[in-house]
Chains A and B, each alone.
Chain A
Amino acid sequence: MARRVAVVGAGMTRFVRRAQETGKELAWEASREALASCELPLDRIDAVCLTSAPDAFDGVHMKGEYLSDGAGAFGRPYMRTYVGGGSGVFTAIQAYYTVASGMADVVLAVAEEKMSSTQPHPQGAFLTIFDNILERPLGPNLLWIFALEMNRYMTVHGIDKRDIAAVAVKNKRNAADHPAALLGQADITIEDVLASETLAWPVQRLDVSPISDGAVAIVVASEEAAKQITSDPVWIQGVGWNLDTAYWTNRDLVFPEYVANAARMAYGMAGVTEPRKQIHVAEPYDPFDYKELHHLEGLLLFDKGKAPEAAREGVLDRKGDLPSCPSGGLLGVGNPIAAAGLMKIAELFWQLRGEAGARQVPGTPERGVAQAWGDLMQVGTVVVMGREGGPPTTATQLETPPTATPGQSLSDAEFRSATGAVDDEIGARYAWDAGVAIGRFLDGLREGTIWGRECRNCERVLVPPRMFCERCFRGTDAWKQVENTGVVQTFSICNVRWDMQPLDEPELPAVISIDGSDGGLLHTLGEVKPDEVTIGMKVEAVWKPVGERTGSILDIAYFKPRSDA
């Protein structure tokens, strides 16, 4: 039987565009505040759990080791976990199982991100999430993946962009009450969001959370230790995490099944049978405004396609029936990736103790859920937290937390002129092998044919092909030639490059399901005007001339509307 585990303290730095502090210094500032919040000295900490997203952001290889001193890991059991954007919530899960298992009684969990070091744009570090051989030659941009998912979600459910923009408005307004927020704005309107620059249609500038620096820490304790430390622990009642396939073009982009799986795991552990009644406050992951809605549905708090209506009707407002992101979320407080996820756990801690001050949701919420999402847009991490035994016993504090907000912002000029600053690059180059399945697939492209691999167990034809079926975990059975035609599952009209520089001509990335297969490919569309593209459009591959083909995904120049359709 696992031991009961509680959160007993929380602290964070300001989230800023550029922090003066190093990553280590940010981690220390947040950790010190978390320890101070429950009056613990560092020597009461038995083990340290740390998370931080890709090493390439801070530009420090083995970032876990680099950050260890600032996280209080000196001379202690210590481990960094990392599941991309899902990391911040996952490190609370890591702290949970470290304590529940009996390995430690008191754990410090720390999340840090310093994205401002990355030049010319942190998106450069994201490019390798795309398949090196099948996707990167297309010149993708991180926004593509969000725009493609958002378009399909909106189109399948017939969602009005205004209802999605309402999420950005709600969160930036909520963040106006957060002392550590980067983008709080009490007077922002839906019109402001809809008037912002279109980056990759349907994604506009104000649909997106800001690049940020910051750190968050919490203290997690066993039942016995928690009761010594505080009269009002907030219990971690359930945890869950789950991964979808790495082949994102094979995925259902409309509903995040992996989030639902993680939620079912966490609710099951927490004894939550009716989440819509038993969850009183939610902190779903909101790097983009539509993602909050997508995730509220994944968390089983709304029917599929119904969360946007709730945003429109104020259900998600701080005083609504299901307050969502009362912190202000990533859209308002900021998005230092790993730290932003743990900020959601800290917010539930304050909300459930009745200590959230100006951000306090009304009533006495007894249970909340926090969720984050990441890796290759495929991991769901979920934590259910609750307080038990009547109204909070600690005096409600008048000041809105976090009451201490360390973290200094550097202006652009200060960043450029800082004494002691060093410009550098990792300077690593890579040569990626195509491998067995993709090697054969590329040979087919050179001949003007598209090939998949058949799994006779689940009766799927896999495109892109692989030598094993990730569902059945057995070798696939045979090569099968599929059609050179397909159907547009989703598309975007992208106006910017990966480094956010404007493009002369918009690009039309699309996910195309290939006829005769159960899979799909990322590619671009051509010979069509942007406003004529529709989801469900039948398309065909346009091949480069035979002599110009090299055995590359670019042997398909693009897909165009089918001449016979």
Chain B
Amino acid sequence: MLEKISRPELIRRWEGDLPVRHRYTPGVAGDAFFTALKERGDLLGSRCEHCSYTYVPARLFCERCFAELAADTEVGPGGELVSFTIVFQGIEGEPLGQPETLGAVRLDGADAVLLHRVLEPGEEPLEIGERVEVVLKPEPQRTGSILDIEGFRIPEP
């Protein structure tokens, strides 16, 4: 092994990349989820009665028993904060001017947990188990994206 380089000018590097981009289409269940979100502001999940489990976002199949599922179960907009984190650095390790709070939320009626930003968490420390609610963008601004959800906020008392 040659690990120690004493003459850095001798290091020969070839720089390159993998020249591909991707276009991800959302699939059968994803199409139903994003269309409902964009057009009606609804959060659609899929309920598997056999497994007593509600997935969100909606899914075409139950991964537990392989049953076909429909995107027909409305969940939220309220939910429970299952966990959260406060992020101080960007992906390159640079400090963020404004720390960002991310929350994992179990929406009312769902078993699966949805990840999104926590908006204006305020002065009081967040608590796991706290009630939160989904904030949507106004209808004209929605494009059919997970960002049509602005995030979660602590409801007004």
Inter-subunit contact B61/A25 (CB<8 Å): yes
Q: Which of A18, A421, A551 has the most chain B CB atoms closer than 10 A to its own CB? A: A421
Query: Whole-angstrom distance from the CB of B19 to the nearest CB of chain A?
Result: 5
The answer to the question of B144 belonging to the interface, with a C-beta cut-off of 8 Å to chain A, is yes
The answer to the question of A430 belonging to the interface, with a C-beta cut-off of 8 Å to chain B, is yes
**Which residues of A sit under 8 angstroms from B6, Cβ to Cβ?**
none
Inter-subunit contact A419/B21 (CB<8 Å): no
Inter-subunit contact B15/A425 (CB<8 Å): no
**Which residues of B sit under 8 angstroms from A117, Cβ to Cβ?**
22-25
Which of the segments B31-39, B81-89, B94-102, B130-138 contacts the partner chain?
B31-39
Q: Majority SS of interface residues in chain A?
A: mixed
Q: Which residue of A lies closest to B13 (CB)?
A: A431
**Which residues of B sit under 8 angstroms from A410, Cβ to Cβ?**
25
A interface residues, tally (CB under 8 Å): 57
Mask, B1-38, CB within 8 Å of A = 1, is 01000000001111111111111111111110111001
**Which residues of B sit under 8 angstroms from A420, Cβ to Cβ?**
25-26, 30-31, 33-35, 144-145
**Which residues of A sit under 8 angstroms from B14, Cβ to Cβ?**
132-133, 136-137, 431-432, 434
Q: Which residue of B lies closest to A20 (CB)?
A: B28
Inter-subunit contact B31/A20 (CB<8 Å): yes
**With A420-B31, A420-B33, A430-B15: A118-B22 Cβ-Cβ less than 8 Å:** yes
**With A42-B65, A72-B66, A431-B13: A421-B19 Cβ-Cβ less than 8 Å:** no
Q: Which of B128-157 contact A (CB under 8 A)?
A: 144-145
Inter-subunit contact B23/A419 (CB<8 Å): no
A72 to B25 Cα, complex, angstroms: 22
A424 to B59 Cα, complex, angstroms: 22
**With A42-B66, A70-B61: A422-B12 Cβ-Cβ less than 8 Å:** no
Q: Among A56, A69, A422, A434, which residue has its beta carbon within 8 angstroms of that of B18?
A: A56
Inter-subunit contact A21/B27 (CB<8 Å): yes
The answer to the question of B60 belonging to the interface, with a C-beta cut-off of 8 Å to chain A, is yes
Q: Which of B26, B63, B144 has the most chain A CB atoms closer than 10 A to its own CB? A: B63
Inter-subunit contact B28/A119 (CB<8 Å): no
Inter-subunit contact B23/A422 (CB<8 Å): yes
**Which residues of A sit under 8 angstroms from B35, Cβ to Cβ?**
419-420
**With A21-B27, A31-B66, A420-B144: A434-B22 Cβ-Cβ less than 8 Å:** no
The answer to the question of B64 belonging to the interface, with a C-beta cut-off of 8 Å to chain A, is yes
A75 to B63 Cα, complex, angstroms: 10
A388 to B24 Cα, complex, angstroms: 46
A410 to B24 Cα, complex, angstroms: 13
Inter-subunit contact B31/A430 (CB<8 Å): no
B interface residues, tally (CB under 8 Å): 35
Query: Whole-angstrom distance from the CB of A6 to the nearest CB of chain B?
Result: 22
**Which residues of A sit under 8 angstroms from B29, Cβ to Cβ?**
25
Inter-subunit contact B12/A124 (CB<8 Å): no
The answer to the question of A144 belonging to the interface, with a C-beta cut-off of 8 Å to chain B, is no
Q: Which residue of B lies closest to A418 (CB)?
A: B25
A64 to B151 Cα, complex, angstroms: 30
Query: Whole-angstrom distance from the CB of A350 to the nearest CB of chain B?
Result: 23
Mask, A27-40, CB within 8 Å of B = 1, is 01001100100000
The answer to the question of A59 belonging to the interface, with a C-beta cut-off of 8 Å to chain B, is yes
**Which residues of A sit under 8 angstroms from B61, Cβ to Cβ?**
25, 28, 32, 69-70
Mask, B107-145, CB within 8 Å of A = 1, is 000000000000000000000000000000000000011
A442 to B16 Cα, complex, angstroms: 18
A423 to B23 Cα, complex, angstroms: 4
**With A431-B13, A434-B12, A439-B12: A124-B24 Cβ-Cβ less than 8 Å:** no
A324 to B25 Cα, complex, angstroms: 36
Mask, A3-35, CB within 8 Å of B = 1, is 000000000000000101110110010011001
Inter-subunit contact B65/A425 (CB<8 Å): no
Inter-subunit contact A20/B21 (CB<8 Å): no
Q: Among A32, A415, A426, A430, which residue has its beta carbon within 8 angstroms of that of B25?
A: A415
The answer to the question of A245 belonging to the interface, with a C-beta cut-off of 8 Å to chain B, is no
**Which residues of A sit under 8 angstroms from B65, Cβ to Cβ?**
41-43
Q: Among B11, B18, B64, which residue has its beta carbon within 8 angstroms of that of A124?
A: B18
**With A24-B27, A420-B144, A421-B26: A442-B12 Cβ-Cβ less than 8 Å:** yes
Mask, B46-70, CB within 8 Å of A = 1, is 0000000000000011011110100
Query: Whole-angstrom distance from the CB of A119 to the nearest CB of chain B?
Result: 4
Q: Which of A127-160 contact B (CB under 8 A)?
A: 127-128, 132-133, 136-137
The answer to the question of A408 belonging to the interface, with a C-beta cut-off of 8 Å to chain B, is yes
Inter-subunit contact A418/B31 (CB<8 Å): yes
**With A20-B28, A420-B30, A420-B145: A428-B63 Cβ-Cβ less than 8 Å:** no
Can you list 30 contacts pairing A with B, beta carbon distance less than 8 Å? A20-B31, A21-B27, A21-B28, A22-B24, A25-B28, A25-B29, A25-B60, A25-B61, A28-B60, A32-B68, A35-B66, A56-B18, A70-B63, A75-B64, A117-B22, A117-B23, A118-B22, A119-B21, A119-B23, A122-B20, A124-B20, A128-B16, A136-B16, A137-B14, A410-B25, A418-B31, A422-B23, A426-B22, A430-B15, A434-B14
A-binding residues in B (CB < 8 A): 2, 11-31, 33-35, 38, 60-61, 63-66, 68, 144-145
B-binding residues in A (CB < 8 A): 18, 20-22, 24-25, 28, 31-32, 35, 41-43, 56, 58-59, 69-70, 72, 74-75, 117-120, 122, 124-125, 127-128, 132-133, 136-137, 408, 410, 415, 418-426, 428-434, 436, 439, 442, 551
- Give 5 nearest A-B pairs by CB, closest first: A420-B34, A59-B22, A22-B27, A69-B63, A420-B26
